[in-house]
Amino acid sequence: MTDSTDSTEPAVGAPERRPGGRTARVRAQVLDAVRAELAEAGPEGLTVEGVAARAGVHRTTVYRRWRDVGGLLVDVIAAAGEMDWQPPDTGSLRGDLTALNREIQESLVVRPSFAVALMAASFHSEQAARAQTRLWADRYAQCEILVERAVARGELPARGATELDARSLLIAATAPVYHQVVLLRADPDPRLPERAAAAAVLAAAAGAFSVPRTEGA
Amino acid sequence: MTDSTDSTEPAVGAPERRPGGRTARVRAQVLDAVRAELAEAGPEGLTVEGVAARAGVHRTTVYRRWRDVGGLLVDVIAAAGEMDWQPPDTGSLRGDLTALNREIQESLVVRPSFAVALMAASFHSEQAARAQTRLWADRYAQCEILVERAVARGELPARGATELDARSLLIAATAPVYHQVVLLRADPDPRLPERAAAAAVLAAAAGAFSVPRTEGA
């Protein structure tokens, strides 16, 4: 993001001049290999050599561009953030949050799960943890539009002296899905995405997640 | 659990005849060492040799009783389950859930955090993951009394054809705290324990977490 254009050494993971050129192809091959190795063996099993072999590139190429396993993890998380992801738009807050939760649950229960592998990696590497924190912050920020739309539609009460803390509402709606699948390792409950969404909407309608207007300013 | 009483080899992590005797002392020393090593270096840094050295016992003692790092992790999680833990009893559901969330948040933000180290270990070892799943299931089961007391006090509406799914309510109340601190790695918000508790209580009062009576039977 901040590397100067006349730099001769590309920054770790930064795209070079020709998108779609050889550099982009190598990056795609290497990151595919990182995802496959992560899903198969977890972050402890990740090595530059293993990634290079699976990607079919020379390991010095990997060392030069990504330096180490931490650099590979950061770039695979950055690539997830570059995906053209759009939050759902079903016409109601409950529908939107249910669709979001279904997408989350799906990404967590598929085997092997890249999403779970990334979380495991964030326990393993401080660098990966920071990259993942940025990715999640971006995704929750993107989802605030769901709450804004619901307020505009009049689905949630507008209150004079308070405003709705959209992020708290989004976390209340989505956290139970992560909690059940990732931390409690319960069998995925197909009704949970809708139930967790409905509970958060009921709480919001009853005045939860309202904060004094000055607080967020 | 299933080892026969005339076995000459004690089961992995099973207490022997004389609680408080040498066996119990060795177990306490070894598990203290596991907790310290986990908190310092994480599950990847855990070795039988390191634990034995820190505990001041011979490594063959550790190998004989716990077999490997997986056995140590399982026993340290089992020991957490043996703690005489009682859920809070403040007189209101909101107060109880707030107190529970404060306890959870405290255990997650203290540095080094044994609770976070255990979660990291559960990504690392299938054995540790299963032991942790059992521990969490026990803790949530212990907490169902909070919801039962609230229903008995008339804080939550009794509904003819439905009953309250206590576990879903408890997960809705507590999941945001884990989500913020462990997965999102946000700075701990001192208001979150109460806010997450309040949101879950509002949702429950509005009819969330109600399931048809037949479903749970």
For the question of an ipTM over 0.85, the answer is no
Tens digit of each residue's pLDDT (9 = 90 or more) over A108-128: 998 888 888 888 888 878 888
Is the pLDDT confidence value at A45 over 70?
A: yes
Mean pLDDT estimate for chain B: 86
Please state, in angstroms and rounded to a whole number, the distance separating the CA atoms of residues B159 and B165. Answer: 12
- Give the residue with greater pLDDT, B37 vs A94: A94
Given a cut of 60, whether residue A92 has pLDDT beyond it is yes
Best interface-test mutation with B: which of A94, A123, A156 has the largest number of B CBs within 10 A?
Answer: A123
Model confidence band, residue B199 (pLDDT cutoffs 50, 70, 90): very high
Nearest-Cα residue of chain A relative to residue B186: A133
A203/B200 Cβ within 8 A: yes
Token pair belonging to B152: 């008995």
Comparing A87 with B41, the larger pLDDT belongs to A87
Domain residue ranges in chain A: 22-81, 85-216
Query: Measured between alpha carbons, how far is A149 from A93 in angstroms, rounded to an integer?
Result: 8
Closest CB to A208 among B179, B185, B202: B202
Tokens matching residue B193: 């324990």
Interface test with B, best of A162, A179, A182 (most B CBs within 10 A): A179
Q: pLDDT tens across B2-23, in order?
A: 333 333 444 455 544 455 688 8
Supply the pLDDT for residue B122: 85
- Predicted confidence (pLDDT) at residue B98 exceeds the cutoff of 60: yes
As a 3-state breakdown, chain A gives helix, strand, coil percent values, each rounded to 5, of 65, 5, 30
Across the interface, of A175, A183, A205, the residue whose CB is closest to B119 is A183
Identify the closest residue of chain A to B117 by CA–CA distance. Answer: A123
> Quick check: A195 and B208 CB within 8 A?
yes
Is residue B141 pLDDT above 60, yes or no? yes
Confidence of residue A158 (pLDDT cuts 50, 70, 90): low
A141 touches chain B (CB under 8 A): no
Query: Which chain B residues touch A168 with a CB distance below 8 Å?
Result: 176, 195, 199
More confident residue, B125 or A107: A107
Site from A101, A143, A174, A202 to mutate, B interface, most B CB atoms within 10 angstroms? A202
| Count of CB pairs separated by less than 8 Å, A with B | 106
Q: Cβ separation of A176 and B172 shorter than 8 Å?
A: yes
B137 touches chain A (CB under 8 A): yes
Q: What is the pLDDT of residue B30?
A: 96
Q: Are A193 and A177 in contact (CB under 8 A)?
A: yes
Cβ A202–B202 below 8 Å, yes or no?
A: yes
Q: What percent of chain B has pLDDT over 90?
A: 57
Q: How far is A144 from chain B (nearest CA, A)?
A: 16
- Residue B187: list chain A partners with CB under 8 A: none
Average pLDDT over residues B92-118: 92
- Tell me, rounded to whole angstroms, the distance of Cα B125 from its chain centroid: 16
- In tens, the pLDDT along B157-185 reads 766 678 889 999 999 999 999 999 998 98
Domain A85-216, CATH number (from 1.10.357.10, 3.40.50.300, 3.80.30.20, 3.10.20.30): 1.10.357.10
All residues of chain A having their beta carbon less than 8 Å from the beta carbon of residue B120 are 123-124
Cα angle, residue B121 at apex, residues B108 and A55 outer, rounded to 5°: 120
Contact between A203 and B208 using a beta-carbon 8 Å cutoff: yes
**For residues A51, A57, A60 and A61, what is the CA-based torsion angle, rounded to 10 degrees?**
-100
Which of A198-202, A207-211, B111-115, B140-144 has the least mean pLDDT?
Answer: B111-115
Residues 35-74 of B with CB under 8 A from A: 42, 44
- Interface membership of A171 toward B (CB under 8 Å): yes
Rounded average pLDDT over A60-89? 92
- Positive or negative, the Cα torsion across B7, B9, B10, B12? negative
- Strand-pairing partners, residue A212, are A162
Encoding tokens for residue A139? 């995704």
Q: How far apart, in whole angstroms, are the C-alpha atoms of residue A173 and residue A193?
A: 8
A122-143: average pLDDT: 90
- DSSP category for residue A165: -
Name the band, by pLDDT with cuts 50, 70 and 90, for residue A19.
Answer: low
Confidence of residue A10 (pLDDT cuts 50, 70, 90): very low
Tell me the two tokens of residue B19: 């609680």
Chain B neighbors of A205, CB-CB under 8 A: 206
For the cut 80, the answer to whether the pLDDT of residue B108 exceeds it is yes
Among all residues of chain B, which has the CA nearest to that of A197?
Answer: B208
Regarding the domain delimited by A22-81, which CATH topology (the fold level of the hierarchy) does it fall under?
Arc Repressor Mutant, subunit A (1.10.10)
Residue A199 at interface with chain B, using a CB cutoff of 8 Å: yes
Residue written as token pair 């967590």: A108
**CB within 8 A of A191, min separation 6: which ones?**
none
